[in-house]
Structure 1
Amino acid sequence: MSIEIKSPEDIEKMRLAGRLCGEVLDYIAPFVKPGVTTEALDRLCHDYMVDVQGCIPAPLNYAPPGYTPYPKSVCTSINHQVCHGIPNDRPLKKGDILNIDVTTIKDGYHGDSSRMYIVGGEAAASILARRLCNVTLECLWLGIGQVRPGARLGDIGAAIQKHAEANGFSVVREFCGHGIGRQFHEDPQVLHYGKSGTGIVIEPGMIFTIEPMINAGKAAISELNDGWTIVTKDRSLSAQWEHTILVTPSGHEVLTLSAGAPPKPASIA
């Protein structure tokens, strides 16, 4: 495993890429409403990234080994879809929960973040859906709170797993956070479950994502025939939040925070 420690110049460029990524998620929020399609949301995000920000949407035509090229500019995962949902022409319905996952490339550097949206506003969703979205956000921030020099990657996963399971939810095991920089996916892998005090020691200059995927039912998942979309095997609801994190000499910095990003929940402050 080769973990790149970012230089001060790298970090400045990652701050810019991260900020722009968060701003895409801010921009798209007012368009998430009943009747809109995820394909329309994808086009809006694409045009904003390319025409306004001067970014490249990293998912478009992304093809890791064994995959066909991803055909859209963002991922949109609805209700029981866990991740990597492909935008399509199905209109969103009131009460749907939607994850939009955005990765920007600016000046050769990547910013990566995702956010949950409730279609029709918070009151439109079921109590379970609202609770799942909120607990998953808490899981993200509990994981972020473990990031400091000298801590271990296992501390992040342990904090997330403990909170998810204490609330009766489960953690998806097959997908994880990842190092990020000039490459979309770099070392290390950041698991969202595990044991405190285990794993790689966290060092200043590391940059990685934390992106827990939490299911209302069991953790088991399956892949749809499109080769990309991951769903819960029991068709229970799933939620995900993601930020890109820089390890600083004294702790951490969240690079993908933006004006519209939900703050750290007061419940875990």
Structure 2
Amino acid sequence: MMELKTHAEIEKMAVTGRFVAQVLHDLATRAEPGVNLLDLEQRARTMVRDRGAVSCYWDYAPSFGSGPFRNVICLSVNDAVLHGLPRDHVLAPGDVLTLDFAVSIDGWVADAARTVRVGVDDDPAHPDTRLIASTERALAAAVAAMLPDNRLGDVSAAIGEVAVADGYRVNTQFGGHGLGRTMHEDPHVPNLGRRGKGMRLKPGTTLALEPWWATGTERLVSDPDGWTLRSADGSMTAHSEHTVAVTDDGPRILTTVD
């Protein structure tokens, strides 16, 4: 069962969400050629400690990973898209880096992700830029569907419609999720769905929406580290995510610095 959040509880989640957004902005700015992923992990640890936040990833041991996870951020490069275990890797110009970050502050969680190209201009015509932009447009479409009395299928369909229109295949094994007091709560939010189907959205619904896909396939393979998931054909990947609340006034993005 999903727990609907009060206005006061959503405000608390927004405090966490602003911090999540600040960390992602800080790390994305630091993600330059020559920077080691372990340096970004260390910076994230410092920011978590200084804020008095609690990492949702540290010691996390779900069935789909080889736990416990002993880092505070997921860093996935190029064909890696989900659950990237920070490792000794020096970023190079043109690397596609996904940063996925979730913490709890005063008992309330927020979760977000963004993908950036390292050390190069974001040429709109470049395939990697178009891939990233596709997930960002899908995220915006999903947010717009987070309206009272809409269905969960409306949100999933909004994501999948963008992917299909842009020529990408969609994996439904991993997607968005409910969250609040913990990182993963009901319901699962697949990135493909049918409008008018599924649970009805009510004010107080809080979801992490996270469209992700690869250039060439919807299939994933796992690294020997037991965590990092890559596109099965080695093609580039991208992932965009926000924590969003349904309110009487419409959707509210919680993982923003605004």
State the TM-score, normalized to the length of structure 1: 0.92
By how many angstroms is 1:185 displaced? 0.5
In structure 1, the residue matched to 2:37 is: 38
**Which residue of the partner structure matches residue 57 of structure 2?**
59
Letter in 1 for 2:71: K
Please say if residues 97 and 125 of structure 1, whose CA atoms lie closer than 8 Å, have aligned partners that are also in contact.
no
CA contact (8 A) 2:124 2:130 kept: no
Structure 1 residue 11 displacement after superposition = 1.5
Point out 4+ residue stretches in structure 1 off by more than 3 angstroms. 123-126
Q: Which amino acid aligns with 2:215?
A: A
Instruction: Report the 3-state secondary structure (helix = DSSP H, G, I; strand = E; otherwise coil) of the residue aligned with 2:98.
Output: strand
- Answer whether contact 1:95 1:126 (CA < 8 A) is retained: no
Residue in 1 aligned with 2:178?
A: 179
- The residue correspondences of 1:84-103 to structure 2 (distance < 5 A) are 84-103=83-102
Q: Secondary structure of 2:196's partner?
A: coil
Q: Does the alignment pair 1:147 with 2:141?
A: no
The corresponding residue for 2:23 is: 24
Per the alignment, do residues 126 and 229 of structure 1 end up closer, same or farther by CA in structure 2, a change over 3 Å counting? farther
Q: Residue by residue, what CA displacement relative to the aligned partner does 1:131-162 show, whole Å, maximum 9, x if unpaired?
A: 10111100110111111011011111111111
Q: State the shift of 1:122 in Å.
A: 2.6
Task: Tell whether 2:257 aligns with 1:258.
Answer: yes
* Corresponding position of 2:207: 208
Aligned-partner SS, 2:195? coil
Residues 151, 202 of structure 1: 8 Å contact kept: yes
Within a 5 Å distance, the mapping from 1:220-235 to structure 2 comes to 220-235=219-234
**Contact 1:26-1:258 at 8 Å conserved across structures:** no
1:130 has 2:126 as partner = no
Correspondence for 2:188: 189
Q: Is the 8 A contact 1:122 1:130 kept in 2?
A: no
Contact 2:123/2:129, CA 8 A, preserved across alignment: no
- CA–CA separation in structure 2 for the residues paired with 1:13 and 1:167: 36
Moved more, 104-113 or 120-129: 120-129
Moved more, 80-89 or 63-72: 63-72
CA separation of 1:4 and 1:179: change in aligned 2, threshold 3 A: same
| TM-superposition CA deviations, 1:109-140 (whole Å, max 9, x none) | 11100111110033489811011011110011
Q: Distance in 2 between matches of 1:231 and 1:253?
A: 31
* 8 Å CA contact 1:21, 1:113 repeated in 2: yes
Q: Give the deviation of 1:66 after TM superposition.
A: 6.0
Cα distance between partner residues in 2 of 1:232 and 1:79: 9
* CA distance in structure 2 between the aligned counterparts of 1:8 and 1:250, rounded to whole angstroms: 12
CA contact (8 A) 1:57 1:73 kept: yes
Task: Kindly state the Cα deviation for residue 165 of structure 1 after the two structures are TM-superposed.
Answer: 1.3
Question: In structure 1, what is the Cα distance between the partners aligned to 2:231 and 2:64?
Answer: 21
Distance in 2 between residues matched to 1:124 and 1:165, nearest whole Å: 22
Question: 2:230 is matched by which residue type in structure 1?
Answer: V
> Against the structure 1 CA distance between its residues 125 and 38, is the aligned structure 2 distance closer, same or farther, given a 3 Å change threshold?
farther
Q: Decide whether the 8 Å contact of 2:142 with 2:159 is kept in 1.
A: yes
Separation in structure 1 between the aligned mates of residue 35 and residue 225 of structure 2, nearest angstrom: 22
Unpaired segments ≥5 residues, structure 2: none
In the alignment, structure 1 segments of 5+ residues that lack a partner are 260-269
How many pairs were matched up? 257
TM (norm. structure 2) is: 0.95
Measured on the aligned residues, the alpha-carbon RMSD in Å equals 1.5
Q: Percent identity?
A: 35
